[in-house]
Amino acid sequence: MNFIPVFLICFVIFVLWMFYEQRKSQNKDKEASDAFWERERMANQTRKKDISHLPILHVEESELPVFTTENESVLYYIDHIRKIIKSPMLDLSEYSNTDLKLAYGVGNFKVLCEYDENFNHFLLALTNLARACTEAGLYSEAEQTFLLAFHYGSQKMTDYTSLADIYLHLEEPEKISALIRNVEDGSLPHKEALIQALEQKLMAYR
């Protein structure tokens, strides 16, 4: 006879708890949203600051692999890279748009975004060049290009695994082992997954 009242009490408590949790979540979301828009408001009022001290990336043509080929794809990407490196480049991946405006002023936002975009285009062009070299059978040049991309900050897992495939094709598994050690010593965001992928390629070769 007491089952229904007890059930109703439990149900009411559950509903009240759910309502409380929902309100708490909504309040947290509102606080986060308010904080974001307050930072954005401050960012949009931040005055232009001196950016002459920023480490603009300069890449010399002499750093690029030397190519003796008539492959159209390879030549296209080489020409593309030569044009890109004439423009200022900056790796600003650690900044959000709001952070960038707060740090250097809204007046510098557009030009800094252009520098960052140039940098990303540079890394992408290196990746495309390395793949074009691989498809053309220019494995040494592909290796050099991938290593250059890593030197300048490429963190793409596919770049590392593609280089490992080149080493397997050339029957140089010891270079995969060296690549794994380099990844272990680094701070890539997907380090553990990358190490596992490289180790799997090495195990498959053996």
Per-residue pLDDT of the chain (206 residues; tens, 9 = 90+): 455 576 667 777 777 777 777 777 776 766 667 676 777 788 788 889 999 999 999 999 999 988 889 999 999 999 999 999 999 999 999 999 999 999 999 999 999 999 999 999 999 999 999 999 999 999 999 999 999 999 999 999 999 999 999 999 999 999 999 999 999 998 888 899 999 999 999 888 76
pTM of the model: 0.79
How much is the pLDDT for 109?
A: 93
Q: What are phi and psi of 57, to 5 degrees?
A: -80, 125
Helices marked H in 44-156: 72-84, 97-104, 109-135, 139-151
Residue count of the chain: 206
Could you give the C-alpha distances from 21 to 16, 58, 61, in angstroms and in order? 9, 53, 60
Domain ranges of the chain: 3-205
CB 145 within 8 A of CB 130: yes
**What residues does 89 pair with on adjacent strands?**
57
